[in-house]
Chain A
Amino acid sequence: MSQNETEDRQRSSALAWRLWKGPGLTWLALVALFAVSLGSAYLPLGAGNLALNLLIAIIMIGLLVIFLMDLKNAKTIIRVVAAAGLFWTIFMFALIFNDYLSRTY
């Protein structure tokens, strides 16, 4: 009985380690990227600051979505749905900026 319990506990702690490993590494990467982003904001890069910071944000979201939201194991349809949200936002940006950037008055 008690031996059973210990085995159970051992099994579950081994399982727990497997559960923590992947997400934990992703979390470390995310925090590191966050630090880079914060640090780089104080470098005088001019217009490059925002571009760099947004790039880092996109990488972070990518990590979060692929590893923490488990998109890497998701079915195709879910990837299509995720892509649809992105593409429609791009339509919106493209056509709205098409107006603003070509205005002369």
Chain B
Amino acid sequence: MNISQFNTEASDYATKVDHLFYLESIISGLVVLLVSGLIIVFFALYYRGSRMPRGEVPERKSREIEIGWTVATLFSFLFIFWWAASDQLTALAPPKDALEIHVVAKQWMWRFQHPSGAREIDELHVPAHTDVRLAMTSQDVIHDLYLPALRLKQDILPDRYTYEWFNATKTGIFHFTCAEFCGTDHSIMAGSLVIMTPEDYARWTAAQPEGDDLAHQGKALFLSLGCSGCHTPGSSVHAPDLNGVYGHVVHLSDGSTRTADEAYLRDCMLLPDSTRVAGFPPIMPNFTGAVDEGQIVELVAYIKSLSTDQDAGAQDQSPGGQQ
């Protein structure tokens, strides 16, 4: 293993983080030099028994000095805060149409699902110069996908989606690992991040054994689980039509409203009672235990595809992950 798998600046964002790090290192270095320099000078001059005349210490001045360095410290700290916060804020919003890769973490392995349907374990292939968004969830405890070369880290929680996104600029093989303590084999829950040129990535995807993309796999599940029995326009059962629902606001039976994003669709399968759409009977079965996180991802991808086919703009309204 090589240290460059960790500390390479593999994206523009990583470079920005490093710049901030250098800035703070310089400021900190100066403060340490100042304080230790002063201590050494005072020792050299005023050690007990030195002949240095001590003279008066004007007490009146001390107030001005105190206010002086309080204000100076405050402003330099605010300056660093402003710099850091602007970095943070510009990195917040994931770009639209990012390539979305689903991540499922569990004790102690990683599973990645590409939109093309390709799956991999403990290895993540991504194209360079492309916005990539990772939608992550955990099947058990809290994990954390740490991508050192991209200076990214995000906890992954059970029953919830968290996101991180990047646009890598360097190709190569880098390290990724779990950063939130998750039990016995926490320290070997790691893998390789392979950043490839977009062309290589396309070739790699094409070479993957599973031909169907996520949405098609989802459709197959949708049929085999019997969802289609109710959720089709012509069905005799009174259930919401899923065409175009993704990204739109839905009114729930308890009077609240939610936007139909990934988290909502997921809740519909696992918590049907609290996500029931107004005007529909409570007949949706609870799929907890019947589908795993990977299958939920496929089903959601299918329902999303029902919207993008007919209403290309729908996804723009999705707040999922956006800040």
Among residues of B, the one whose C-beta sits closest to the C-beta of A47 is B255
Assuming A105-B263, A105-B319, what are 12 further A-B pairs, CB within 8 angstroms?
A104-B319, A104-B320, A104-B321, A104-B322, A104-B323, A105-B160, A105-B161, A105-B162, A105-B163, A105-B261, A105-B320, A105-B321
List, in ascending order, chain B residues with CB within 8 A of A105's CB. Answer: 160-163, 261, 263, 319-321
Query: Least Cβ distance of B157 to chain A in Å?
Result: 11
Residues of B within 8 A of A (CB): 160-163, 261, 263, 319-323
- Give the chain A neighbours of B261 by CB distance below 8 A: 105
In the assembled complex, the Cα of A104 lies from the Cα of B261 at a distance in Å of 10
Set of chain B residues within 8 Å of A104, measured between Cβ atoms: 319-323
Bits for A87-105, please: 1 = Cβ < 8 Å to B, else 0. 0000000000000000011
Closest to B160 in A: A105
Q: How far is the CB of A105 from chain B (nearest CB, A)?
A: 6
Residues of chain A with a CB closer than 8 A to B320's CB: 104-105
Give the residue name and chain of the B residue nearest to A104 (CB): B319
Residue of A nearest to B323 (CB): A104
Residues on A with C-beta less than 8 A from B263 are 105
3 interchain residue pairs of minimum CB distance: A104-B319, A105-B321, A105-B320
A92 to B162 alpha-carbon distance, docked (Å): 24
Minimum CB–CB distance for A96 against chain B, Å = 17
A36-89 CB contacts (< 8 Å) to partner B: none
Q: For B255, give the chain A residue with the smallest CB separation.
A: A46
Interface pairs (14), CB distance under 8 Å = A104-B319, A104-B320, A104-B321, A104-B322, A104-B323, A105-B160, A105-B161, A105-B162, A105-B163, A105-B261, A105-B263, A105-B319, A105-B320, A105-B321
B163 CB contacts on chain A under 8 angstroms: 105
User: Whose C-beta in chain A lies nearest to the C-beta of B322?
Assistant: A104
Q: Which A residues are CB-close (under 8 A) to B161?
A: 105
* Closest Cβ–Cβ distance, residue B254 to chain A (whole Å): 12
A23 CA to B322 CA, complexed, in Å: 57
Separation of A105 and B263 alpha carbons in the complex (Å): 7
Nearest CB of A to B249, in Å: 14
Q: Report how far A29 CA is from B242 CA in the complex, Å.
A: 56
Residue of A with least CB distance to B259 = A104
Bound-complex Cα distance A105 to B159 (A): 11
Select from chain B the residue with minimum beta-carbon distance to A102: B323
Cα(A41)–Cα(B17), bound, Å: 55
Whole-angstrom CA separation of A105 from B323 in the bound complex? 9
Complex Cα–Cα for A104 and B161 (A): 11
**A105→B160 CA distance, assembly (Å):** 8
Q: How far is the CB of A63 from chain B (nearest CB, A)?
A: 35
Nearest CB in chain B: distance from A53 CB, A: 20
CB distance from A70 to the nearest CB of B (A): 42
Q: Which B residue's beta carbon lies closest to that of A46?
A: B255
| Assembly CA distance A105 to B319 (angstroms) | 8
B170 to chain A, nearest CB (A): 29
